[in-house]
Amino acid sequence: MNKPKVFIARKIPKHVEDYIAEFCDYEKWDKDEFIPRDMLLKRIQDKEGIMQARVIIDEELLEYAPKLRVVSNISVGYNNFNIDAMKARKIIGTNTPGVLDDSVADLVFSLTLCTARRIAELDKYVKEGRWTATDDLNLLGTDIHHSSIGIIGMGRIGEAVAKRAKLGFDMEVFYYNRNRKYKLEEELGVRYCDFESLIKTCDFIVLLVPSTKDTYHLIDYKEFSLMKRNAILINASRGQTVNEKALIKALQDKKIFGAGLDVYEQEPIKSNNPLLKMSNVITVPHIGTATVETRANMASVAAINLVKALYGEIPPNIVPELL
């Protein structure tokens, strides 16, 4: 029996490649940068499966790949999928939830600590040969321990953040979610509250929601007007969940203390974006899962999803809309 043909559109670890080779006839893109769209379209024309990250799976791509049966995302998000187009062609789409929860939670706390204690700003200060920050009241940070944190979106990553906050920093943890997590409330002592109350009362506000029409600009001018002046916004979800113009205005007017951002409305972020000039903003380039261990685990899960689907088994992580 001929092995199914697949294209790997992202550099992956050797052991994952070896696993795919056992079951599939494959070609791969082995460069660090993303594959150019026109080159991708040429290379998938006879492929039954694609394993990739951040490739837009739309009508155009599907027209170029008439034999395609499976798209395996090396990510938990799948807003790159045109669900209707894939459904119409009965194409299976999978993702990699679960393996990245702790790494993203670590990043959330990295952003929290760095923003609150002004680490990047003070690192630059010392490297410029200055050493009077402790005497300058304008350079004082704010405490994380025993403060309050509001988590918007209490999924697996939210739960991992809540554990770090409660057990590591003695923080008062509030959350807002579509469904209450009674077991988590009992086990960890976190408290559910309504969205507006969370926005008004918490020192740190962490966004961990998916990008949907309901979460578009979830944090807007109104929400910033309700926040405490010492509030810090952490966004490790999707850039579209925050109105960036409203965020910039709130920071410029000192309506909030600062922001820690892993995601932006437009990625890559433009070099003239005012956020890049603000000392009270930490900006990192969408690196929530960017550790050697997590990326390897994600690639392994994506490979298993790909192979199982191609061989007629039910893969562990079909996205719900394509079940």
In whole angstroms, what is the distance from residue 45 CA to residue 153 CA? 39
Which residue shows structure tokens 């922001």?
259
Q: Which of 267, 293, 313, 321 is catalytic?
A: 267
* Residue labelled with tokens 């993303």: 34
All residues at 6 or more sequence positions from 218 whose CB lies less than 8 Å from its CB, including other chains? 152, 207, 209, 241, 242
Structure-token match 């938990």, residue found: 76
Terminal CA-CA length for the chain:
27
- In this structure, the strands spanning 49-52 and 25-28 are unpaired
Of 177, 165, 161, 166, nearest to 107 (Cα)?
A: 161
Strand spans (E) along the chain:
5-8, 25-28, 49-52, 70-73, 92-94, 148-152, 172-176, 191-192, 204-207, 232-235, 258-261, 281-283
Q: 69 an active-site residue?
A: no
CA 219, CA 197: separation in Å to the nearest integer? 14
Contact call for residues 45 and 25 (beta carbons, < 8 A): no
Catalytic residue among 43, 69, 238, 295: 238
Compute the C-alpha angle 106/111/115, nearest 5°.
150
What distance in Å separates the CA atoms of residue 72 and residue 315, rounded to the nearest whole number?
10
Q: Which residue do the tokens 């000392």 mark?
A: 279
Residue 238 a catalytic site member: yes
Ramachandran category for residue 300: left, alpha or beta (phi over 0 → left; psi -120 to 50 → alpha): alpha
267 included as an active-site residue = yes
**Any idea which residues carry the catalytic annotation?**
238, 267, 286
